[in-house]
């Protein structure tokens, strides 16, 4: 008897993307919340504040978890207000974990 792999390909396929988040996303713990959310999902990448008041995120991991993470970013932590999410090309050089950049 052969055993089939019951895993969904979306659980193993690697996805990479970047985001620019605009709204009240600085000074509300957004970067730390993002690092925590990414860690819980087993994703790797970076998050940083930008000079224009936005937050930039680059992330890689399973396609399903990256989609889940993207949905979480659209609301952010309780004190934040995300007005706009722009998808951008992912930075090709990501760390092996998820880091807050300064």
Residue 35: active-site member: no
What is the spatial distance between Cα 90 and Cα 25, in angstroms, rounded to a whole number?
20
N- to C-terminal Cα separation, the chain: 54
What is the spatial distance between Cα 44 and Cα 40, in angstroms, rounded to a whole number?
11
Residue 22: active-site member: no
Q: Which of 49, 50, 65, 81 is catalytic?
A: 49
Q: Which of 31, 44, 74, 84 is catalytic?
A: 31
Structure tokens at 14: 């690697």
Q: How far is CA 15 from CA 34, 60, 69, 76, in A?
A: 17, 6, 12, 21
Q: Which residues are catalytic?
A: 31, 49
């Amino acid at each position: 008897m052969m055993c089939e792999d019951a895993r969904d390909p979306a659980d193993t396929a690697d996805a990479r993307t970047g985001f620019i988040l605009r709204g009240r996303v600085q000074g509300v713990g957004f970067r730390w919340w993002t690092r925590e959310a990414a860690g819980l999902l087993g994703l790797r990448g970076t998050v940083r504040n930008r000079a224009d008041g936005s937050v930039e995120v680059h992330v890689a991991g399973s396609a399903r978890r990256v989609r889940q993470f993207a949905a979480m970013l659209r609301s952010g932590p309780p004190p934040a207000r995300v007005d706009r999410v722009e998808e951008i090309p992912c930075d090709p050089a990501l760390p092996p974990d998820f880091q807050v950049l300064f």
